[in-house]
Chains A and B, each alone.
Chain A
Amino acid sequence: MKKVITSGVVILVIGLLGWGWYTAHHQPAADKVTVVGSTALQPLAEAVAERYQKTHHANIIVQGGGSGTGLSQVQAGAVNIGASDIAASQKEGINAAKLQDHIVAVSGIVPVVNPKLGVKNLSMAQLRGIFTGRITNWQEVGGPNLPITVINRASGSGTRVAFEQTVLQPGTESINAQEQDSNGTVKEIVSNTPGAISYIALAYMNNQVQALKIDGMSATAQNITTNAWPLWSYEHMYTQKHSSKATTAFIRYMQSHRVQSSIVNAAHYVSIHDMQVTKTDTGQVRRK
């Protein structure tokens, strides 16, 4: 009796699974688009994907993993879209000519210090001095007598490359300082360390840390559109030269005026349509 019941259950389960497999494979398959890459871009891409799937029959999967991972995966053809906050041509080991670049957002970068420090403004030269290790005490820039703790971003990360392109002079290098990978951890460290300075993406800015002005200019979306605030970078989505229809459709949706002015702005990125200037991969800025 026991055996009959067991075998009955087994047959039932197998039957159900088979039926499930059959129905799943005979439905019109949803178009699957996989986005892998930049962890900083991930929340934005997720939010857009969620909205997109409400109106379109598609299955968008967004993954982190880092810009390097995203670029190597899209180059290998393992994923449809490689999200990156660094231009493919600036990344070693990537053949940028084989990839199609789609700019989907503009991200501001803002230097931050501990709120208790009292320093609210630095000149570009002072900022450069701090990150090259020439200035080592806050006293030298009008702050309290406190050694400066530089927290740099992970080498090879998009934020660091963009920051160094703008702040450092060609040929100079940042001092060998603490390195942190993520915006969240940087914020945490700066808010816990009195003399710390670092930089984060504008989207991650909150009252845990004090945003610095540079030469009296503050990091606002308005100032970024005119390059009055020079610290910004593009968020890229790379595809292969010939991408699937679903992939193109999703990217086009992401670049659309509607998404750019709603979700992208709400996430504190700058809409690509508001930009009055363009930036080359190596950091030259031109008016549109």
Chain B
Amino acid sequence: MKPEKVDRLATYLILAGASLVGIIVLLLLGYLLVTGLPHVSWHFLTSSSESFRSGGGIRDQLFNSLYLVVLTLLVSVPLALIAAIYLSEYAPTNRWTELLRLAIEVLSSLPSVVVGLFGYLVFVLQWGFDFSLLAGAFALTILNLPLLTRSIEDALHQVPALQRRAGLGLGMSKWRVTTKIVLPQALSGIITGAILSAGRIFGEAAALIYTAGQSAPAIDYQNWNPFSPTSFLNPMRPAETLAVHIWKVNSEGLVPDARAVSNGSVVVLIITILLFNLLARLLGNLIQRRLAK
């Protein structure tokens, strides 16, 4: 057969295969949306969940999820940022750096159950955090750190080496070059990476069951004092997130409409992750444009 013919045939086959996979995936998403969307309403989003009556909502779970993501990013972004700066700007290429990279990557492939159990032993029991948002945020940081570090490192690598040399040539210290030249350039990449990682941890359940806990006690949205036990801002209160709620409702839900609640929660979760993605893109573009000016 002529190479041109093979080429055309292969192109058709690959495109057909890809569309098939695409269709399967779309069907899957469609199935989730069709089964869940009818249950999503304003009432569903703004009322608290019920223990054994139907008609409960997911207000607290949704807020907990978002708040937990914010807390996790507060802990993990600075850590990942500094680690990435070290790895991309400072680290000598030797065995120790390799070992460090390996160590960070080990975190990324840790089963989330194992992370959850570790968090339970150390943060919840040893450090006395109890089941709390903070313990959950720490556990999620362990999961989030490797991917975030990697994406920030990539963003730093995108900055041309020429710019660094120019800075160094002017007699600036490496630290100054990094913070004043490289970081602003890489900012859009860093923010995009952070938000995308937020989307990933938003759906995590196994690591949270034993750290952030599986109950959403009544919280007071008018109480802005983060030290008050009933305040919605208190990081030391136990908090069930949306993903955990899906798991719990399905496994031990007493409510008669468990199925509907779970399907609705799945849709809300997917839409939120989609919003994270759009937000990441939007912010990234915005910053890029401002820098270009």
Q: Given A47-B52, A60-B217, A64-B252 in contact, is the A32-B226 Cβ separation under 8 Å?
A: no
Q: How far is the CB of A43 from chain B (nearest CB, A)?
A: 4
Residues B66-125 near A (CB distance < 8 A)? 125
Residue of A17, A65, A206 contacting most chain B CB atoms (<10 Å): A65
The answer on a CB contact under 8 Å between A65 and B251 is no
The answer on a CB contact under 8 Å between B217 and A62 is yes
What residues of B have a CB within 8 angstroms of the CB of A188 in the complex? 250
The answer on a CB contact under 8 Å between A32 and B229 is yes
By a beta-carbon cutoff of 8 Å, the part of chain A in contact with chain B is: 17, 20-21, 23-25, 27, 30, 32, 34, 36, 39-40, 42-44, 46-47, 49-50, 53, 59-65, 78, 181-185, 188, 203-204, 206, 266-268
The answer on a CB contact under 8 Å between B225 and A206 is no
Q: How far is the CB of B35 from chain A (nearest CB, A)?
A: 14
The answer on a CB contact under 8 Å between B51 and A183 is no
A268 to B53 Cα, complex, angstroms: 11
Q: How far is the CB of B236 from chain A (nearest CB, A)?
A: 11
A22 to B214 Cα, complex, angstroms: 30
The answer on a CB contact under 8 Å between A24 and B51 is no
The answer on a CB contact under 8 Å between A184 and B250 is yes
Q: How far is the CB of A73 from chain B (nearest CB, A)?
A: 8
A36-B131, A46-B215 known; 11 new pairs, CB 8 Å cut-off, are: A17-B226, A23-B227, A43-B253, A47-B51, A59-B217, A59-B230, A64-B213, A64-B215, A64-B252, A184-B251, A266-B52
Residue of A17, A25, A184, A203 contacting most chain B CB atoms (<10 Å): A184
By a beta-carbon cutoff of 8 Å, the part of chain B in contact with chain A is: 51-52, 125, 130-131, 209-210, 213-215, 217-218, 224-230, 237-238, 248-256, 258
What residues of B have a CB within 8 angstroms of the CB of A25 in the complex? 227
What residues of A have a CB within 8 angstroms of the CB of B51 in the complex? 43-44, 46-47, 50, 267
A46 to B256 Cα, complex, angstroms: 16
Q: Can you list the 9 inter-chain pairs with the closest CB atoms, starting with the nearest?
A: A182-B251, A24-B227, A47-B51, A20-B225, A43-B254, A43-B51, A64-B214, A184-B251, A39-B252
What residues of A have a CB within 8 angstroms of the CB of B249 in the complex? 184
A76 to B157 Cα, complex, angstroms: 50
What residues of A have a CB within 8 angstroms of the CB of B258 in the complex? 184
A203 to B227 Cα, complex, angstroms: 37
Q: Given A50-B51, A267-B51 in contact, is the A63-B215 Cβ separation under 8 Å?
A: yes
Sample of 15 A–B contacts (CB below 8 Å): A20-B224, A25-B227, A39-B248, A42-B214, A42-B252, A43-B253, A44-B51, A61-B131, A61-B237, A62-B215, A64-B209, A64-B215, A64-B252, A182-B252, A206-B256
Across the interface, B131 reaches (CB within 8 A) one of A30, A63, A268, namely A63
The answer on a CB contact under 8 Å between A184 and B227 is no
Residue of A17, A20, A32 contacting most chain B CB atoms (<10 Å): A20
A25 to B227 Cα, complex, angstroms: 8
Across the interface, B215 reaches (CB within 8 A) one of A42, A44, A268, namely A42
A61 to B214 Cα, complex, angstroms: 10
A27 to B51 Cα, complex, angstroms: 30
A64 to B211 Cα, complex, angstroms: 11
A50 to B216 Cα, complex, angstroms: 11
A183 to B255 Cα, complex, angstroms: 12
Q: How far is the CB of B136 from chain A (nearest CB, A)?
A: 13
The answer on a CB contact under 8 Å between B252 and A61 is no
The answer on a CB contact under 8 Å between B238 and A61 is yes
The answer on a CB contact under 8 Å between A24 and B225 is yes
Q: Given A21-B227, A63-B238, A64-B215 in contact, is the A185-B256 Cβ separation under 8 Å?
A: no
Q: Given A62-B217, A63-B213, A184-B249 in contact, is the A20-B226 Cβ separation under 8 Å?
A: yes
What residues of B have a CB within 8 angstroms of the CB of A24 in the complex? 225, 227-229
What residues of A have a CB within 8 angstroms of the CB of B228 in the complex? 20, 23-24, 27
Chain B residue at minimal CB-CB distance from A34: B130
A204 to B237 Cα, complex, angstroms: 28
What residues of B have a CB within 8 angstroms of the CB of A40 in the complex? 252
A44 to B229 Cα, complex, angstroms: 22
Q: How far is the CB of B54 from chain A (nearest CB, A)?
A: 11
Chain A residue at minimal CB-CB distance from B253: A184
Across the interface, A61 reaches (CB within 8 A) one of B125, B209, B217, B248, namely B217
A60 to B230 Cα, complex, angstroms: 11
Q: How far is the CB of A84 from chain B (nearest CB, A)?
A: 15
Q: Given A61-B238, A63-B238 in contact, is the A20-B215 Cβ separation under 8 Å?
A: no
